[in-house]
Amino acid sequence: MAIRPHSWPDYDVIGRELRSRGFGDKCRFCANNGELWFVSTSHKLKDEQGRTRCPMLQAYTCPKCRACGLNAHTKKYCPTNRR
Ligand SMILES: [Zn+2]
Ligand SMILES: [Zn+2]
């Protein structure tokens, strides 16, 4: 494939490539925040154990329960909502 230095790679091609390598879950937190695609596809929002992997979300503290770091979530996904 020819290299075109002045255009971004085709997102669909990259996305398919990433999915085939198991990176299908792009980070929805970054995507919703309008981060560039290579930021939001560079990590998952959460790992298999449900721990927050997103560095942007890890830096966020939940205003409802003060969770941050590996337990970070937005207030929409706060466990205190489920009561
Ligand atoms: Zn993220
Ligand atoms: Zn919370």
Output the CA torsion 77→27→17→8 (10° steps). Answer: 140
**Dist. CA 71 → ligand 2 center (Å):** 8
User: Domain segments of the chain: what residues?
Assistant: 11-82
pLDDT digits (tens, 9 = 90+) for 6-62: 555 566 666 666 566 555 568 989 999 999 988 998 898 998 899 999 999 999 999
Q: Which fold has domain 11-82?
A: HIV-1 Nucleocapsid Protein (4.10.60)
Output the CA torsion 42→46→48→49 (10° steps). Answer: 140
pLDDT at 82: 78
Q: Dmax of the chain from CA atoms?
A: 55
**Dist. CA 58 → ligand 1 center (Å):** 9
Query: How far is it, in rounded angstroms, from Cα 3 to Cα 69?
Result: 39
11 vs 2, 24, 35, 39, 80, CA distance in Å?
16, 13, 14, 13, 37
pLDDT at 26: 82
pLDDT at 24: 55
pTM value?
Answer: 0.67
